[in-house]
Amino acid sequence: MNLITEAAKALRDIGKGMAVVSRAAEKGKHTNLYPFEMPEIPPVSCQSLALIIEADGTDRCVSCLACEKVCPSQVITIERTRNPEGKGFVLERFDIDLVNCMYCAACVEACPVSAIVTIQDFELSTYDLQTLKADKAFLDEQGRRAKQWYSPKLGVEYRNEQGEIQVAPLEQQPGGEAELLKQADKESDN
Amino acid sequence: MALSSDKRSQLKRIPIPEDRHFKPQLVGYNPKTPNRLAEVLAHSLLYFVFVGLLLLIYGVLPWLFKLPGSPLASGGSFTTTGAVLYGILAAVLSFLVAAVAALILILVLRKYLGLVQNRYGPMHNGPAGAFQTIADAVKMVAKEDFVPGKADALVFTLAPLMVFVSAFLLLTIIPFAPGWVLANLNVGLLFIVAAGTIGAYGVLVGGWSINNKFGLLGGLRAAAQLVSYEIPLSISLLTVAVWVGSLNLMDIVEAQKLWWTAIPLLISAAVYLIASLAEIKMTPFDLPEAESELVAGFNTEYSGMRFGFFFVAEFAELFLLPAIAVVLFFGGYYQPLAGFWDFADVLRGLGAEGSTLNQFGGLLASAYGMLWFLLKTALLSYLVIWVRATLPRFRDDQLMELCWKVLIPLSLIGLAVAVILRLVFK
Amino acid sequence: MSIPAALMTGPTVLEPVVGKTDEMIVNLGPQHPATHGVLQIVLGVDGERVTRAVPHIGFLHRNHEKIEESRSYAQVIPYLDRMDYVSGLQNELPYCLAVEDLAGLEVPERAKYIRTAMFEFNRIISHLVWVGTYMLDLGAITPFLYAFRDREMALDIIERTTGGRMLPNYFTFGGVRRDVHPKFWQDLLDFLDYFEKVVPEYETLTVDAPVFQARSVGVGLLSQELAVNHGISGPNLRASGVAHDLRKDQPYDAYPELDFSVITRDEGDVWARSKVRMDEIYQSIDLIRQCAELAPRSGPYLARGRVKIEAGEQRYRAAEISRGQLGVYIHSDGGTGPYRSKHRSPSFVNLQIIPDLFIGQKFSDVIAILGSIDIVLGEVDR
Ligand code: SF4
Ligand code: SF4
């Protein structure tokens, strides 16, 4: 008798499992049809690095070497010379070895002027690793192609149709919640 | 780690190419804009081919060769040239039938797994991946014919053929409709056991010949499993013979016009289904090729068409063993409760005796029976696939325990039940 | 195939039956579907019975500890993610705790809750990977895809805040690197509402399933004594009946304020380990809910301060990550980075029971036991 009840229980549990499996079809498809359909990547996501050029064509980077110093993988190489006329430096060379970079975004955090930023372009696959030894032209191009980018100082930014750089609204910024709450508090105080 | 500065400047710098990004080329079917009609049509294409092949073998060819009824069915005498030609053609076409059945089931399995696992399954070859299995088959044929250096070349070549032939032989004795059978053997049930056993040898020597330890383990597991499960399988076949009183599959089906054998012989039917799961080597009994333990088990070193033979044979068996179950236990080509009212009888009664309409009606009746047969088989195959999607696999000793401690006693009980029922009711 | 004799040294407990059967040496790994990475186990098998088992590690050795000596304190954190890449966030915590202790940084209240919620969320993700891969080892493909389906959703939530999926580089000394996404807490709660309904499905397919029970009950018995002697930690230890959980015993971050109890089981077999992990998923759901309730919605998320550590100072801090006790020992020589940094990684320690558990078992059980220990090779080799 015991055997029969046990067998019945086992069969019932197997049946339950089979029901779970067949009911799962209701949950729909969860596959992303990449490359036919691009995945939605949040703006803070660090998929690649880029250098930002202002709308008037000047580099944001002031060659302060902060990013080079902070990089854990030591893949940033910057060469600069003193600006012969006026203050500051002239950027001679700005290389990032994107093969050995580990996309930790420490350089982005260190940059005082948000010149180096994280972008969401993850399609870095290539047949030739040499193409990933990025120089300044490469990084500028990445920055020009990016729809939006992120840096902790300025938050999420994007280029509007006129080519001007704008900061995204507060709702899309990390930390925006706290800011909005603060504003709401102030309004309720008034 | 970091290169020195001057070393770096020596590196050839390649500018960012405009087409660095992988731009998908949309060739053929675009999954983003699905076309339901095309999908349904493409997916049913193989089914039409399958049914068409069967109709050709059993309906059109005998008529073309002017065979009276089906000579092979009634004893198998190749007296006329037409009959010999028909035999050869039918054999070649049956090979195709087995292959197409396997192609259909592979695609169904992959699509079904996709469905229950919240993904798409094959997607890009043909509408909703309908031609994926055909593309795979072409790929397998086109691959290099490769024999590993330390393998026993002769046995290595023979093993997949043995497995495939064993599956293929089963096809010849299955009655798809009244009179629609290639070899109407009087010892049909014995033939099932005999043909099935060849496959076990194929797997064993295949696993042994590749000179790979995982393959050897897989082959030994397969031998133990297949030989053990042959016993409950054979005993439950025997119960049918006892109950019906014949070893001929045609007679067995005819005896089920009113009541399926599965109703009195429920235990045997259940034992047969479980044991045939083990014979097909499907989860939870897929130990011989347990991919997480034995890499790929007995076919670890097989590639190309040799692997294809194993693969096709496995899925042909996924069609054939349920088909045999339908023949033995679930009324074969009869519609349910055909004893009370059978639409096939209506079709057979069309027109006057011997008229063209009457002959055509007979053909239609057979086709109608075949559709019922295929439908039942499809349901049983679906059950197997469903189980495969759910269960993990057993351990080898549990597998043996299930066989020797549960299934064989159960099948003996089933046999006793059959004997008693036979004495009481017949 | 000839295997060097040095690879086969190890305890041989079972002698093959001489004259009747031969011992066959099977090389399980380093490229094998069930070793979860590049672990090599040289197995002696007599038929299906395992007569000896010698694990070999080091195929993934990346010299983490040595690299960390030449980095500054902050530069170490991204490397920590790469140790146990399945629960990357959790790896950062013990190191941050140790540096905070040494540098005397006080973590703000809000950051504590964010960290704790993230920590527990990562435990869910890690256990999901375990469910999936373990069932794959046992031959069921479907739970694997369910687990990864839900894991993707969970990773999306983490990515929206941290910017990374598996290697987030998010915790830092004195809090977290940046504020959470505006909808972070809401996303978490929504996900948990969905996920709570799905976990019973996993249970039906795993711990409640008869075939799974047949494979797991009574298999791979790890006695309480053996577990304690080997220094096993995490769910493996708790499944052997030892109520040891650093979240309770040495609470850190927001754990002292949370209400939970240590999950234990007495059986000590594969099934108990699975059940403990399943229960821990429920527990994590509950803990995250508590965090979401208690966490202040505004306030500082990071206490900025200079990390200045006196020479000769040292500290060991540990946290209960999903695989057990991850400890970090830091010794400072007054410089910008650690003079010596040592990780006590749970998988490495848990792996040591392999020979004890394997010998005398069936070949299939070897896979089941190895999967139930839940190792991540990136952390074993470091
Ligand atoms: S992302 Fe990290 S590793 Fe890469 S360049 Fe920036 S700091 Fe260096
Ligand atoms: S930290 Fe910013 S400004 Fe300074 S060198 Fe790097 S990119 Fe340029």
Query: Which residue out of A49, A102, A118 has the highest number of ligand 1 atoms within 8 Å of its CB and is therefore the one to mutate?
Result: A102
> Least CB-CB distance to C159: which of A45, A70, A118?
A45
> Least CB-CB distance to C139: which of B118, B213, B292?
B292
> Least CB-CB distance to C139: which of B113, B214, B286?
B286
Contact A14 C204 (CB under 8 A): no
CB B42 within 8 A of CB B131: yes
pLDDT at C20: 61
pLDDT at B32: 72
Question: How many Å lie between the centroid of ligand 2 and the Cα of residue A68?
Answer: 8
> Least CB-CB distance to A21: which of B21, B32, B116?
B116
3-state class (DSSP) for residue A149? strand
For residue A107, give the ligand 2 atom closest to its CA: 1
A76 close to ligand 2 (CB < 6 Angstrom):
no
Residues of A in contact with C77 (CB under 8 A): 104
Strands A116-119 and A133-134 turn out to be unpaired
Lookup result for tokens 């978490």: C188
Residues of A in contact with B32 (CB under 8 A): 33, 36-37
Ligand nearest to the CA of A101: 1
Ligand nearest to the CA of A95: 1
Indicate whether this model's pTM tops 0.90.
no
Lookup result for tokens 């704790």: C116
* pLDDT tier at A163, thresholds 50, 70, 90: confident
Question: How many Å lie between the centroid of ligand 1 and the Cα of residue A137?
Answer: 18
For residue A116, give the ligand 1 atom closest to its CA: 6
Q: What is the mean pLDDT of chain A?
A: 81
Contact B116 C140 (CB under 8 A): no
Q: Report how many helices (DSSP H) and strands (DSSP E) chain A contains, helices first.
A: 5, 8
* Helix axis angle, C270-294 to C363-373, nearest 10°: 20
* pLDDT tier at B72, thresholds 50, 70, 90: very low
pLDDT at B15: 57
H/E segment holding residue C171: strand C171-172
> Least CB-CB distance to A128: which of B14, B386, B389?
B14
The rounded distance, in Å, linking the Cα atoms of C60 and C379 is: 9
CB B203 within 8 A of CB B288: yes
Ligand 1 environment, Cβ below 6 A = A 71-73, 75-76, 96, 101-107
A49 close to ligand 2 (CB < 6 Angstrom):
no
Q: Is the dihedral of CA B183, B184, B185, B188 positive or negative?
A: positive
Lookup result for tokens 């060991």: C316
The rounded distance, in Å, linking the Cα atoms of C234 and C375 is: 11
Q: What is the mean pLDDT of chain C?
A: 84
* pLDDT tier at C377, thresholds 50, 70, 90: confident
Minimum CA distance residue for ligand 2 atom 2 = A111
* pLDDT tier at C285, thresholds 50, 70, 90: very high
| Mean of pLDDT values over B233-249 | 86
State in Å, rounded, how far the first CA of chain B is from the last one: 88
Against chain C, the chains showing at least 3 CB pairs within 8 Å are A, B
Q: Is 70 exceeded by the pLDDT of residue C187? A: yes
Tokens, residue C214: 């047949």
* pLDDT tier at A26, thresholds 50, 70, 90: confident
CB atoms < 10 A from the CB of B58, how many? Answer: 25
pLDDT at B246: 84
Using the Cβ of B208 and the Cβ atoms of chain C, whether some distance falls under 8 Å is answered with no
Beta strands in A17-129 (DSSP E): 48-51, 76-82, 89-97, 116-119
Q: Is 70 exceeded by the pLDDT of residue A190? A: no
* pLDDT tier at C12, thresholds 50, 70, 90: very low
| Mean of pLDDT values over B6-22 | 54
Of C87, C60, C94, C96, the closest CA to residue C167 belongs to C87
A63 close to ligand 2 (CB < 6 Angstrom):
yes
Q: Is 80 exceeded by the pLDDT of residue B269? A: yes
The rounded distance, in Å, linking the Cα atoms of B89 and A182 is: 84
* pLDDT tier at B73, thresholds 50, 70, 90: very low
CB C295 within 8 A of CB C244: no
* pLDDT tier at A176, thresholds 50, 70, 90: low
| Mean of pLDDT values over A66-74 | 88
* pLDDT tier at B18, thresholds 50, 70, 90: low
From residue C307, give the alpha-carbon distance in Å to each of C1, C81, C85, C157: 55, 20, 26, 30
Tokens, residue B361: 């009606």
Using the Cβ of B287 and the Cβ atoms of chain C, whether some distance falls under 8 Å is answered with yes
Beta strands in A19-82 (DSSP E): 48-51, 76-82
Q: What is the mean pLDDT of chain B?
A: 80
pLDDT at B2: 47
The rounded distance, in Å, linking the Cα atoms of C163 and A83 is: 36
* ipTM at complex level: 0.82
* pLDDT tier at C68, thresholds 50, 70, 90: confident
Residues of B in contact with A130 (CB under 8 A): 11-14
Contact A177 C163 (CB under 8 A): no
Q: Which domains does chain A have, with CATH numbers?
A: 48-173 (3.30.70.3270)
Using the Cβ of A159 and the Cβ atoms of chain B, whether some distance falls under 8 Å is answered with no
Top pLDDT among C239 and A132 is at: C239
pLDDT at C1: 40
Using the Cβ of B217 and the Cβ atoms of chain C, whether some distance falls under 8 Å is answered with yes
Tokens, residue A101: 């970079």
Ligand nearest to the CA of A61: 2
* pLDDT tier at C180, thresholds 50, 70, 90: confident
Write the pLDDT tens digit of every residue in C119-170: 999 999 999 999 988 888 888 888 899 999 899 889 988 888 888 888 888 8
Of A42, A46, A77, A83, the closest CA to residue A62 belongs to A83
pLDDT at B76: 47
H/E segment holding residue B272: helix B266-280
Q: Is 70 exceeded by the pLDDT of residue B27? A: no
Residues of B in contact with C367 (CB under 8 A): 292-293
∠ Cα A162 A164 A166 (to 5°)? 125
Query: Among A47-56, B145-154, C130-139, where is mean pLDDT lowest?
Result: B145-154
CB B294 within 8 A of CB B207: no
Q: Name the strands in the sheet holding C338-344, side by side, starting at the edge strand that comes first in the sequence.
A: C311-321, C324-333, C338-344
Residue of chain C whose alpha carbon sits nearest to that of B220: C47
Top pLDDT among A148 and B77 is at: A148
Q: Is 80 exceeded by the pLDDT of residue C208? A: yes
Tokens, residue C25: 């040496």
Write the pLDDT tens digit of every residue in B96-145: 888 888 888 888 888 888 888 888 888 877 787 888 888 888 888 888 88
Write the pLDDT tens digit of every residue in B332-383: 888 887 777 777 777 777 777 767 777 777 777 888 888 888 888 889 888 8
Of C363, B214, B14, C18, the closest CA to residue A99 belongs to B14
Query: Which residue out of A71, A111, A135, A151 has the highest number of ligand 2 atoms within 8 Å of its CB and is therefore the one to mutate?
Result: A111
Contact A130 B14 (CB under 8 A): yes
Residues of C in contact with A103 (CB under 8 A): 164, 167
CATH 3.30.465.10 fits C64-347, yes or no: no
A115 close to ligand 2 (CB < 6 Angstrom):
yes
Where are chain C's structural domains? 64-347
* pLDDT tier at B6, thresholds 50, 70, 90: low
Question: How many Å lie between the centroid of ligand 1 and the Cα of residue C280?
Answer: 35
∠ Cα B66 B68 B69 (to 5°)? 115
3-state class (DSSP) for residue A80? strand
The answer for residues whose C-beta is within 8 angstroms of residue A86's C-beta and 6 or more apart is none
Q: Report how many helices (DSSP H) and strands (DSSP E) chain B contains, helices first.
A: 15, 0
